[in-house]
Amino acid sequence: MRYTPTDIKSNPGFELLDVLSYDSVLDFARIYTRKNTRSMIFFYICLICTFLILVGSLVYGMIIHDRAFLSILKQYFYGLIISFSIIIPIHEIVHGIVYILFGAKKILFGAELKQFAFYAVAEDFVTGRTGFYILAISPFIVISLLNLAGFIFVSGVASYTYISMLFFHTTMCIGDFALMSYYDIHKNKEIYTFDDVKSRISYFYYRKK
């Protein structure tokens, strides 16, 4: 059954669990990035692995391929710039595409520049636990695979740009993993979430047992 926000708000079988203002996204993320949840453990493992790939590729390129340190470092810098410019909208577009695949009709994109937080939301669209996990992790998976493919198949020193983007995009995904961490904390609850875009608020309800 596909619920609407009205269905949930008017149903005594659901209870409000949390309200998240768009202005408080950074504070919310800080809380749940510090939790010892499976989502955050997985995130930090991925972050460490991508950092090791970043450093390992640099050392390997210098020793095996006799590439100049500054030449590789320049490609890493390009990856940093691309990650915090072009990759950000691509990341949010992937969120939007997944929303559409789930049946959402109206997708909105926005940013909280003071918090350097960007988002894609579906107006009046309710998401359950499984759907939320898929929505949250999809950009990480899609963009990581594309960057790995770029590193493997692009020849020459330019391939190091993709390794840089792999690492920096992973760091940018911490907000998505923080939201999954929130669900992990409440793993015994059947949670549903939706956005009131005009009020700039996300609601989290759970079904009473």
Q: What confidence category does residue 1 fall into, taking pLDDT thresholds of 50, 70 and 90?
A: low
Q: What is the mean pLDDT of residues 38-60?
A: 97
Q: What confidence category does residue 202 fall into, taking pLDDT thresholds of 50, 70 and 90?
A: very high
| Three-class SS of the chain | CCCCHHHHHCCCCEEEEEEEEHHHHHHHHHHHHCCCCHHHHHHHHHHHHHHHHHHHHHHHHHHHCCCCHHHHHHHHHHHHHHHCCCHHHHHHHHHHHHHHHHCCCCEEEEEECCCCEEEEEEECCCECHHHHHHHHHHHHHHHHHHHHHHHHHCCCCCHHHHHHHHHHHHHHCHHHHHHHHHHHHCCCCCEEEEEECCCCEEEEEEECC
Q: What is the pLDDT of residues 155-185, one digit of tens each?
A: 889 999 999 999 999 999 999 999 999 999 9
Percent pLDDT > 90 in the chain is: 87
Q: What confidence category does residue 114 fall into, taking pLDDT thresholds of 50, 70 and 90?
A: confident
Q: What confidence category does residue 2 fall into, taking pLDDT thresholds of 50, 70 and 90?
A: confident
Nearest 10 degrees: CA dihedral of 145, 80, 47, 121? -70
Q: What confidence category does residue 50 fall into, taking pLDDT thresholds of 50, 70 and 90?
A: very high
Q: What is the mean pLDDT of residues 132-149?
A: 97
pTM of the model: 0.92
Higher confidence at residue 25 or residue 49?
49
Q: What is the mean pLDDT of residues 80-84?
A: 96
Whole-angstrom distance, CA of residue 123 vs CA of residue 176: 19
Domain boundaries in the chain?
15-207
